[in-house]
Amino acid sequence: MRNNGLPKEFYNRPDLTRQETEFLVNLAKEMCMEVIFYAQENGGTVKWRLMETKQGVQIFQGEEFGGNDDLTYVCGVNTIKANLAEVADIFNIVSEEKLAEYSRVFEPDLIDMLSIYDLATPTPDNPMHYIGVRWAAVESTSPLVRNRDFCYLECQDEFVDTRTGRQGWVRCMHSINIPSCVSLEKTLGYVRGSYYRSGFVFVETDKPGYLDVTHILQVNFKGRVPPWIKRQTLRHRVQSISRIDKFFQMKKLSAGRILGDIDLPSKKHVTHCHWCSRKFDMIFTRKFRCRKCGEVVCKHCSTHWDLFLPYSGEKRVRICTMCSNSCRNDPDPNEDRLERQSNDQYAPEPHYSMSSQSKRNASYNRSSAPSSFSGIAEDYPRSRPTSMSSMPVVTTGGSYQTSQNPPVYKPPVDYYEAASKQYQSSQVSHQHPLSKYKIPPEAPTFNVMKAYEQSPFGDNRGNPMHDDLESMYETNPFERLPQNNQNMQQPYQHRSVSTASNMEFEMPELQNRMRARRQDDNQSKHSFDIKEVNAFYGDAIACIKQFANNTCNDMVEYSVNYDMAPLYSRFLEPESHRRMELHKLRSIANPKLICIIGHTVIRATLDEISIHLRSADNTYVGPDLIDIKLLHTVELPTKDKPWQSTRVHWLGLRGPDGDNLEYCVVEAQSSFTSPVQGLVRVFQSINLPYQPRAKFTHGDFFQIGHVFTEISPKGNELDCFSIFVISCITTPPTHHFGFARQIVTSIMNLQAALQTHRLTLAAMTLVNLQQQPSYNTNWMESKKLIRKCGVCQRQFSCFQRKLHCDFDGRVVCSSCVTTFQVYPSKNYPLRLQICIDCIQSAILGNILVGQNPSLSENSLRHQALSSSKLKTDQKWRESQFQMPHLPLPSDFFSCPPLDAIERQSLVAEARDACRDTIRNAKALAGTSSVYQTFTDPKTQRQLTIRMGTDLVNGNFVCMSAHTQVNCSLDAIAAMYSHNATSFGPDPVLGTDVLDKVLLYELVQANEVARAPLHAVYMQWMALRTPPVIADRDFCFLECHDEFLEGKAKQRGFVRSLHSIDASCCPPLDSKFGLTRAKFLRSGQVFIESIEDPSVLDSYHVLVLELCGNVPKDIQVSVMLAILLQAANLDAHFRAQELSSVQLVSEELIRGQPKASYCRRCNAPFRKNIFQSIKQYRCRMCGHAICRACHHVWQLGDRDVRICISCADVAKKSSSIKQHCTMFEEYVRTERLALEV
């Protein structure tokens, strides 16, 4: 970054004497007090006038009676949410990154800034204290005005208001002229401007955590600058304090955890905004997910934030308003929660409470002293004084007395105190300079300091030097020291001033450093200067090689034994739709190690993989990689061992808990044969000396490896194993496995990287061929002769463009071509149009037939992948994870006969589960709150979902869904009995049931005379789950029974599901990838309604244990998806009733004339000449209906359109018979009308 500005050694910095240093320190103290004095409501002689309010900042324009006309006075006032330590940290410019951070907030037009002298630096005792001399160059806002630079004395320190007890912090800037900082007007064209008593003052408010900030600028631009440009420039500068709040808010958001794509919940079933309940639609109100809380919100309740994330640099993410407000406010834990929520939604309005002020005054026994923060004007809550009559009492330093001039008005000394130790004159730059604001005894005499008592902006009564403004502050201040008078000017006569003529380097052309910095912010933010390890000799090299060899052998052993590990999860790559199986294995040799092994198949050769992985950028250690630096090369590839290499790296990684971890790792790459040829690459942490980095924590253990083996007999297909090892004593937290999943699945990007590399090589070859003199430009197909696309065979039309594929020359449509950009040279991009077939052939690694420029004209044409090869590749994609498929064969489970005791025990357990299911249904219906409601669009039945806990085991979540069904108990029992004994479409779970097998029929229906509906079965069932987790299977007891409910003796029916462990039904995770889960006291409870026995109250109870490492939110979503299927039950029986109704024939419907209005809602089908609504005919009543007034019902194997009115008739069978009679009369009437 220093290349765009002045180098650090540009200015000659001669050492300052002790008296010079003390003089600058005392001058900085005086100017600090002046800035604090002028930052108050009634401070100074400047009359302030409120000009405007922008972005919450009140901007004042100042005028001073009898002041200098060349000065421009501007002030900005605002209230921010921060503390003094956070504010002081922004101005602590100690590095290029801190300078960039400061410029983005306060000075976006900053060109360069250099520190010439650091007189007092922050210490652990005084961390917010600094005094120094700095030079800064600022870009002009108008092309008519030249850029300005400033040489100023800067002071930063704390202070305390002794009357109110409020702490504050001040940053003062005051221009000086020293020999070591010469003007650059002749060399670079910068006009030297001046700051006078300018800076920032931050004071605590009545509300904890809030600061009143005042930004004062009193500037002399020098030269010829129009007044309106002066005011515009300074107004824009003071408006920068409005960005402080958002900067801290952005900093807090960046420091917190940001949800990844895997952590975000699905927004498919969300219909309303989580915060404002606004309904989503496809056009105007889109769905967005907050990256902090994961809730689905609308655009009005969220906004984009450009955050600087530690692992990916600057990234734009969307965060909801509630999360951003809560992060901004950072409420006090003792504050009431409702108050915090109200404060989060509304920005705090700065005010000053008179009651709290009087309390403070009473506590400090200063009630008679005027307050500098009271007496606020009614029109402008933070107005400036209009005269000198109300000047407050404030201390500005020692009481200077002279015999020639009358004393200047000085307030009492006890108004402001320092927040730290008293300044000692003998320890400059080590003690606090703003303790008592008194000149040390060893300071220069008062006669010499008389010129610095008065200011061109303060009370100038009796000041004879007021007219000499330039000589007062713009001359060399050291010339006014006693030793620099007539008798002591020799030490400065021989000192050479730094100019451009005597510099050894060429004068650079300065640019805006902040603008040049932003394009490299992402790279420079996480750049590290790692010292190379040089002490690798003899035994150390041999030990590292042996260590790398042993680690590679461990990785190969893990890949060989991955079949023994149970299936943990599956991963689907969203772009290429390639899948990876994840297995979890605990090491036999070391039980403290848990291995997550991912397996997939890629199209590549081992040579390609070796060359590609040799680059330091292709680490594939996950998206949380911060940086990697090479420390030492131990072993390089040779001719005999082209795949062998060993290197030592520094690795920075974002840990699973959000902290930055650093490791010293050995990267080893080697080949092996067992029995097929393979390649292994591993990163293993090692304990070697290296220079630790700031803000990084040393990691304990890190091991990741990739193993590639050839699939015989094909040499271009490789088995890819990605292995990550977790070191732990107990079971790691769930988010640690999510972190491991991201690292393991990062290898899925390898296929896309190889594909891009092959396309780039092919494009470069094509460019080289085109540059040959013998290249024939007419080898492509003629567009005039082609009528169909060469890929999709779509017919070309006037709306479909014809394009050429630059690889094979075929004519294709725009849907089958992709623009690919390559760079034959660094600054010359080339865009090529490539068809989908050629892109697909890049996966096979064989795009070009010949790459020799001397080949014949026919061989210059590229060969595309044929359709047969494309189908073969698709079959390969589908069969790369071939496993035994469902449904299972009929004799898959071995079920030996049960004896009487076993059968009786199972029946008793099933009956107990029935009783517990009924108890859970009653408990949730009576006490639990409503979790969600759902209305079925066909039947208009409302489904109420409640959430609670299981009565037997309170650790399990229990959910229930209540609705009503129009059917009898006998029909319900018959349906479930039929489903238990035969596998078919489940009317409740639908297509989510993958397979079901009846193991034992313990009690048949009608076997017990007094309970004909009682039946008990043992079943196995496989259930489809969301793609983020593996599918589940269950071995459970299904019990049917009837009961009487309440005093009214209402009939009821219960179907209970309760999982058991049976030796005849072992887990199928190793063969089918199914994880064994459990139903606990779950099922359906049906009770006849008192008003109408044909209407049943249906309660669907679910207690589910998915087993495995499944987060709670995913488990709840799976349970919710199962319970939502309960709405299909009423639609199932409604469809059975509708199937018995005679439908209107299609011939009769076609003969009906077009209707003008919908029969149900009376909506006109033709609104105007340009707009019309499509009309349909109900197959039951034959009337014309619109789209909103009908649904498509599946009656048997037919899809039938039935209006909502006719579908409501199917609730009662008697109404169906009456409807059939009406339908027959309607048909006769219509036929007679047609005959007439």
Residue ranges and CATH numbers for the domains of the chain are 1-255+360-527 (3.30.530.20), 276-345 (3.30.40.10), 538-684+699-754 (3.30.530.20), 772-867 (3.30.40.10), 900-1130 (3.30.530.20), 1140-1235 (3.30.40.10)
In this predicted structure, the answer to whether residue 1053 has a pLDDT above a threshold of 90 is yes
Confidence of residue 69 (pLDDT cuts 50, 70, 90): confident
Confidence of residue 1052 (pLDDT cuts 50, 70, 90): very high
Distances (CA, A) of 1167 to 638, 1163, 1175: 81, 9, 13
Residues forming beta bridges with residue 475, ordered by sequence position: none
What pLDDT, on a 0 to 100 scale, did the predictor assign at position 472?
Answer: 33
Confidence of residue 574 (pLDDT cuts 50, 70, 90): confident
Cα end-to-end distance, the chain, whole Å: 94
What pLDDT, on a 0 to 100 scale, did the predictor assign at position 66?
Answer: 60
Least Cα distance to 399 among 450, 473, 472 occurs for: 450
With vertex at residue 841, the alpha carbon angle to CA 837 and CA 846, rounded to the nearest 5 degrees, is 140
Contacts of 86 (CB under 8 A, 6+ apart): 248
In this predicted structure, the answer to whether residue 1039 has a pLDDT above a threshold of 90 is yes
Confidence of residue 65 (pLDDT cuts 50, 70, 90): low
Give the lowest-confidence range in 113-117, 191-195, 571-575, 1182-1186.
571-575
In this predicted structure, the answer to whether residue 223 has a pLDDT above a threshold of 60 is yes
Task: Report whether 840 contacts 810 (CB < 8 A).
Answer: no
Burial class from Cβ neighbours inside 10 Å (0-12, 13-18, 19+) for residue 405 reads middle
Q: What is the pLDDT of residues 1203-1223, one digit of tens each?
A: 888 888 766 655 555 555 555
Of 316-330, 562-576, 642-656, 1214-1228, highest mean pLDDT: 642-656
What pLDDT, on a 0 to 100 scale, did the predictor assign at position 1078?
Answer: 92
What pLDDT, on a 0 to 100 scale, did the predictor assign at position 1231?
Answer: 59
In this predicted structure, the answer to whether residue 6 has a pLDDT above a threshold of 90 is no
- What's the rounded mean pLDDT across residues 911-920? 92
Give the lowest-confidence range in 82-86, 615-619, 1184-1188.
615-619
Q: What percent of the chain has pLDDT over 70?
A: 72
Buried b (16+ CB within 10 A) or exposed e, 723-740: bbbbeeeeebeeebbebb
What pLDDT, on a 0 to 100 scale, did the predictor assign at position 419?
Answer: 33
Q: What is the mean pLDDT of the chain?
A: 73
Q: State the residue for tokens 């003008």.
A: 1156
3-state secondary structure 1193-1223: EEECCEEEEEEHHHHHHCCCHHHHHHHHHHH
- What's the rounded mean pLDDT across residues 377-406? 34
Task: Report whether 345 contacts 8 (CB < 8 A).
Answer: no
Q: What is the pLDDT of residues 821-841, one digit of tens each?
A: 766 555 556 778 888 878 777
Q: What is the pLDDT of residues 744-802, one digit of tens each?
A: 888 888 888 887 778 777 777 777 777 677 667 677 788 877 888 888 888 888 778 88
Counts for the chain of helices (H) and strands (E), in that order: 26, 45
What pLDDT, on a 0 to 100 scale, did the predictor assign at position 41?
Answer: 66
What pLDDT, on a 0 to 100 scale, did the predictor assign at position 1037?
Answer: 94
- Residue ranges with strand state E in 429-562: none
In this predicted structure, the answer to whether residue 452 has a pLDDT above a threshold of 50 is no
Task: Report whether 1110 contacts 1189 (CB < 8 A).
Answer: no
Contacts of 1207 (CB under 8 A, 6+ apart): 938, 939, 1134, 1138, 1191, 1193
**Global confidence as pTM:** 0.37
Least Cα distance to 686 among 655, 663, 662 occurs for: 663
- Residue ranges with strand state E in 950-1060: 957-966, 993-1003, 1015-1023, 1032-1045, 1050-1059
Q: What is the pLDDT of residues 644-673, one digit of tens each?
A: 889 888 888 888 777 888 888 899 999 888
In this predicted structure, the answer to whether residue 436 has a pLDDT above a threshold of 50 is no
More confident position, 520 or 734: 734
